[in-house]
């Protein structure tokens, strides 16, 4: 399956728009797309959404013999896979240039920066060490793969727990998850990549390019940094000439972005830890939004408010004049109430079984203490409306509650 080619018209439009400092989705030059981080049920599984780019990272560990020249250090292994699901341009099993570049960059960013304490991964020096393997899968390609991959990899590493190991003399016991709690990896710092794309020979700069912007860019500058403002790696591709102050400016922008992203990652890790501790539901399936078709729930939708005042006044004028108010309410029958149309009157309802006149099917009960809390209850079916009524009443109730809130 071949990828859709980029037409000249799109390329010209994108370049012209960038000259006017406009992006396709309305972002500013230095804006990132919204980042969403969610975790799976196992430790070490993490999904990152950067706009529409979607990446999954999974960390696993294994006991193996260490390298000869480094007998007391553990081994880190990184692997990025471009699944054909991500884009029609990717084919399974073929090593493309992009894949090699991404793998190299991720290794440089995470391994050479020594963000993980590999000596703590040693079990028996020279014989058994932990090999930590990070598999990164690309699920959807909408630009800026490197940033998303680095965020996913480092978050998965922070989330991962390896089995506990006990050493007694010559004996080494690896405890399973049930026997002893697994322990997290010791991570010194969190390096995160930030990508800058350049257009028109370095004149214009964009942070976090989307896929179409990536296609028309001249060159890419990737800076991997941690929140302590230490640069872990810089890579420039595309063969553009950059001035010194441009690179310095990019590094300043990168430090701001990296601190924001690091905060986001920490918050996500905290939330996940809390959810697991309290026994709440966690995992990928729970973090998906509930996209069921429900007749009982309706989302907040914008309402035409242009001539609401005139309509409301009209209805009020057309409504019957209120009867004289009596000091004590007159009950026509035990447990019934009446509602006037167009008025925000609140009545107490004792039973559910009574008939209302007309369509105003919702009754609002207010708590005796506070005025703010509106409790909306389901009303009983009227003669005209049959099966769908109870659901519609709740919907109508929600809608009218919202309308009342808006009018307030």
Partner 1 sequence: MGELQRVYFRFCCFFLVFLCHIYCFPYQKCTFTDMLSCFKDKVGDVLLPGDVFSFQMPESITDSKPEKVVCGPGLRRNGDEVLVCKSGILRHKQPNLYWIDSQQRRYVPGKGESVIGIITAKSGDIFKVDVGGSEQASLSYLAFEGATKRNRPNVQVGDLVYSQFIIANKDMEPELVCIDSCGRANGMGVFGAGGLLFKVSLGLVRRLLAPQSEIAKDLEKMFPFEIVVGMNGRVWVKSKTIQQTLIVANLLESCENMTAQQRQTLFRRVADGSI
Residues that bind partner 1 (CB under 8 A): 1-2, 4-13, 16-17, 20, 22, 24-26, 295, 298, 301-304, 306, 341-342, 358-362, 385, 387-389, 391-393, 395-396, 399-400, 403
Residue with tokens 């009446």: 338
Give the nearest distance from C-beta 5 to partner 1 in angstroms.
5
Backbone angles phi and psi of 77, in degrees to 5: -130, 125
Closest distance to partner 1 from the beta carbon of 389 (Å): 7
| CA nearest neighbour of 199 among 187, 209, 191 | 209
Token output for 256? 């701001």
> In terms of Cα–Cα distance, which of 36, 30, 69, 41 is closest to 53?
36
What's the min distance (Å) between Cβ of 339 and partner 1? 10
* Nearer CB in complex with partner 1: 295/348: 295
Name residues whose C-beta falls within 8 Å of residue 407's C-beta, 6 or more positions apart in sequence.
Answer: 308, 312, 344
3 state DSSP class of 285: helix
Of 281 and 406, nearer to partner 1 (C-beta) is: 406
The residue among 205, 241, 203, 198 whose CA lies nearest residue 219 is: 198
State the Rg of the chain over Cα. Answer: 30
- Nearer CB in complex with partner 1: 246/392: 392
**Shortest Å distance, C-beta 352 to partner 1:** 18
- Rounded to 5 degrees, what are φ and ψ at 314? -55, -50
CB-CB contact of 75 with 60 (8 Å): no
Least distance in angstroms from the C-beta of 271 to partner 1? 29
117 CB contacts (<8 Å, ≥6 apart)?
A: 185, 186, 187, 188
Distance of CA 398 to the CA centre of its chain: 28
Q: Is the Cβ of residue 155 or residue 361 nearer to partner 1 in the bound state?
A: 361
Q: Which is nearer to partner 1, 60 or 402 (CB)?
A: 402
The residue to which tokens 């007998």 are assigned:
71
Report in angstroms how near the CB of residue 392 gets to partner 1 at its nearest.
4
Q: Which of 121, 138, 147, 146 is nearest to 87 (CA)?
A: 138
Q: 233 vs 395, which CB is nearer to partner 1?
A: 395
Minimum Å gap between C-beta 376 and partner 1 is 12
Token duo for residue 226? 């941690």
305 versus 326: smaller Cβ distance to partner 1: 305
Report the residue number, 127 or 385, with the smaller CB distance to partner 1: 385
At its nearest, how many Å lie between partner 1 and the CB of residue 374? 14
Q: Give min distance, CB of 385 to partner 1, in A.
A: 7
The DSSP secondary structure of 137-197, one letter per residue, reads EEEE-SS-HHHHHHHHHHHHHHH-EEPPEEEETTEEEE--TTTS--EE--B----EEEEEE
Q: Smaller CB distance to partner 1: residue 174 or 398?
A: 398
Phi, psi dihedrals of residue 285, rounded to the nearest 5°: -65, -30
- Tracing tokens 């519609």 back to the chain, one arrives at 392
């Amino acid at each position: 399956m071949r990828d859709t080619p980029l037409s000249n018209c799109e390329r010209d439009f994108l370049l012209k728009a960038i000259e006017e400092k406009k992006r396709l989705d309305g972002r500013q030059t230095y804006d990132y797309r919204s980042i969403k981080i969610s975790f799976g049920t196992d430790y070490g599984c993490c999904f990152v959404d950067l706009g529409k780019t979607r990446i999954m990272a999974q960390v696993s560990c294994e006991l193996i013999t260490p390298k000869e020249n480094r007998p007391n250090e553990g081994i880190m292994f990184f692997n990025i896979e471009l699944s054909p699901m991500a884009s029609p341009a990717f084919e399974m099993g073929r090593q493309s240039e992009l894949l090699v570049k991404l793998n190299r960059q991720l290794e440089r960013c995470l391994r050479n920066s020594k963000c993980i304490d590999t000596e703590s991964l040693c079990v028996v020096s020279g014989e058994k060490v932990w090999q930590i393997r990070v598999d990164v899968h690309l699920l959807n390609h909408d630009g800026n793969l490197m940033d998303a991959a680095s965020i996913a990899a480092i978050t998965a590493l922070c989330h991962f727990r390896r089995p506990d190991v006990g050493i007694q003399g010559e004996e080494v016991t690896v405890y399973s998850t049930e026997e002893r709690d697994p322990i997290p990896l010791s991570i010194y710092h969190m390096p995160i990549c930030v990508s800058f794309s350049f257009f028109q020979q370095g004149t214009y700069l964009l942070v976090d390019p989307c896929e179409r912007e990536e296609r028309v860019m001249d060159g890419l500058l990737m800076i991997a940094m941690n929140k302590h403002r230490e640069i872990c790696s810089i890579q420039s591709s595309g063969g553009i000439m950059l001035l010194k102050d441009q690179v310095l400016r990019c590094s300043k922008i990168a430090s701001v972005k990296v601190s924001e992203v690091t905060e986001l990652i920490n918050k996500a890790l905290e939330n996940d830890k809390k959810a697991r501790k309290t026994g709440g539901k966690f995992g990928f399936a729970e973090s998906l939004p509930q996209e069921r078709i429900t007749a009982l729930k309706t989302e907040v939708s914008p309402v035409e408010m242009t001539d609401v005042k005139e309509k409301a006044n009209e209805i009020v004028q057309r409504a019957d004049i209120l009867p004289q108010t009596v000091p004590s309410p007159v009950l026509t029958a035990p447990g019934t109430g009446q509602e006037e149309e167009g008025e925000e009157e609140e009545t107490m309802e004792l039973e559910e079984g009574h008939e209302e006149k007309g369509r105003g099917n919702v009754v609002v009960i207010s708590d005796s203490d506070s005025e703010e809390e509106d409790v909306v209850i389901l009303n009983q079916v009227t003669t005209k409306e049959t099966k769908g009524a109870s659901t519609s009443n709740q919907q109508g109730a929600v809608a009218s509650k919202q309308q009342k809130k808006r009018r307030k």
